Amino acid sequence: MEKAAQAVVDSSVVRNVVETPKAIAAEPKAAGATDAPAAREAARPSGMPDADWKALKAKEDELARKERSLRTLEQNLDKKLAELTALEKRLKKMLADADVLKDAKIKHLVGVYTAMKAKSAAQVIESLDTDLAVKILAGMRGSSAGAILGLVEPKKAAKLSEALTKLQTPLEAN
């Protein structure tokens, strides 16, 4: 019976199952870990074949190394998650700062176009991107925006008016 058990332990099937992966085998042993045969034999249940006990202990050692490896990976993931969270906060702040700057520029343009004569402003508004033109007109008083829109080419004025309406009713589906 002893020879059969030894043959099983020595077989490639058992060796492949029990063998430690190279990355885990490279880890240092735990501070309290010992390979002394006496310490391993002390807790061995009576009547358990030597080969089974050795295979069981090898498996236990392998699981302990894998647990250490998993804890290390978990710590690395936690660190990466913290870095990503910090990066996300920085990006949100940068986007908020960019929006504030963009709003300030739009307000400046509103002032510039309001100060212009309606005919000149209308000529420039006609050539602007529709979204920018709408933002500028939306920032103006109704009388100034109306005077400018009255001088804009009718098809463009209609487009701008529709876009202004959508801008002022954001709850409607686009």
Each residue's pLDDT tens digit, 79-111: 999 999 999 999 999 998 888 888 888 889 899
Handedness of CA 93, 96, 102, 105 (dihedral sign): negative
Residue 2 pLDDT exceeds 80 = no
Q: Which of 88, 10, 108 is closest to 2 using CA atoms?
A: 10
Residues 6+ apart with CB under 8 A from 150: 118, 122, 157
Q: How far apart are CA 136 and CA 134, in angstroms?
A: 5
Residues 6+ apart with CB under 8 A from 172: 166
**What is the tens place of the pLDDT at every residue in 141-152?**
988 999 999 999
For residue 24, count other CB atoms closer than 10 A to its CB: 14
Domain borders along the chain are: 1-21+33-94, 116-174
